[in-house]
Amino acid sequence: MKLIAILGCSKNGNTTQIVQLFEKKLKEQIECEVEYLYLSDFDIGFCTGCHKCIFDDEKKCPHHVEVRKLEDKIMHSDGLILASPGYMFSVTGVMKNFLDHVAYNCHRPKYFYKNAFIIANCTRWQEKSVLTPMEVWLSGAGFTVNGKMYVDMLPFPLKEKILHKKRRLIEKKAHKFSSILKKDVDLQPRLGELMVFHAFKTLSKIAPNILKADVRYYESINAYEKSVKWYIPAKISLLKHYMANMMAHKMEKEISKMIDQDELHNVQDRYITRL
Ligand SMILES: Cc1cc2nc3c(=O)[nH]c(=O)nc-3n(C[C@H](O)[C@H](O)[C@H](O)COP(=O)(O)O)c2cc1C
pLDDT digits (tens, 9 = 90+) for 220-249: 999 999 889 999 999 899 999 999 999 988
Is 129 in the same domain as 241?
A: no
Q: Which atom of ligand 1 is nearest to the CA of 86?
A: 17
Whether 108 maps to a domain, the answer reads yes
The answer to whether the pTM exceeds 0.85 is: yes
For atom 8 of ligand 1, which residue has the closest CA?
A: 88
Q: How far is the CA of 127 from the centre of ligand 1 (A)?
A: 12
- Does 85 sit in the ligand 1 pocket, CB within 6 Å? yes
Buried b (16+ CB within 10 A) or exposed e, 183-214: eebebebeeebbbbbbbbbbbbbbbeebbbbb
> In this structure, are residues 115 and 2 in contact, taking their beta carbons and an 8 Å threshold?
no
- Does 126 sit in the ligand 1 pocket, CB within 6 Å? yes
- To test the pocket of ligand 1, the residue of 121, 124, 126, 132 to mutate (highest count of ligand atoms within 8 Å of its CB) is 121
**Could you say which of 149, 181, 213 is where a domain stops?**
181
Q: How far is the CA of 201 from the centre of ligand 1 (A)?
A: 38
Residue 69: partners with Cβ closer than 8 Å, 6 or more residues away: 42
Q: Report the half-sphere exposure of 134 (CA within 13 A, side-chain side).
A: 34
- Does 75 sit in the ligand 1 pocket, CB within 6 Å? no
Query: What is the Cα gyration radius of the chain?
Result: 20
Whether 215 maps to a domain, the answer reads yes
Residues 71 and 156: their CA atoms lie apart, in Å, by 35
Is 199 in the same domain as 162?
A: no
> How many domains does the structure of the chain reveal?
2
Edge-to-edge strands, sheet with 2-7: 33-38, 2-7, 79-85, 115-121, 144-150
Is 195 in the same domain as 177?
A: no
Domain that holds residue 11: 2-181
**Could you say which of 181, 199, 226 is where a domain stops?**
181
Determine the pLDDT at residue 37. Answer: 98
Is 227 in the same domain as 204?
A: yes
Q: How far is the CA of 95 from the centre of ligand 1 (A)?
A: 13
Whether 273 maps to a domain, the answer reads no
**Could you say which of 153, 181, 209 is where a domain stops?**
181
Is 82 in the same domain as 212?
A: no
Q: Which atom of ligand 1 is nearest to the CA of 89?
A: 8
Is 228 in the same domain as 115?
A: no
Q: Which atom of ligand 1 is nearest to the CA of 123?
A: 11
Is 35 in the same domain as 150?
A: yes
Closest C-alpha among 190, 154, 169, 174 to residue 81:
174
- Does 153 sit in the ligand 1 pocket, CB within 6 Å? yes
- Does 122 sit in the ligand 1 pocket, CB within 6 Å? yes
- To test the pocket of ligand 1, the residue of 87, 125, 153, 154 to mutate (highest count of ligand atoms within 8 Å of its CB) is 87
- Does 9 sit in the ligand 1 pocket, CB within 6 Å? yes
Whether 271 maps to a domain, the answer reads no
Kindly report the CATH number assigned to the domain that includes residue 77: 3.40.50.360
Is 165 in the same domain as 197?
A: no
Write out the chain's pLDDT in tens, 275 residues: 999 999 999 998 999 999 999 999 999 999 999 999 999 999 999 999 999 999 999 999 999 999 999 999 999 999 999 999 999 999 999 999 999 999 999 999 999 999 999 999 999 999 999 999 999 999 999 999 999 999 999 888 999 999 999 999 999 999 999 999 998 877 889 999 999 999 999 999 999 999 999 999 999 999 999 889 999 999 899 999 999 999 988 998 999 899 988 888 888 777 888 88
Is 229 in the same domain as 137?
A: no
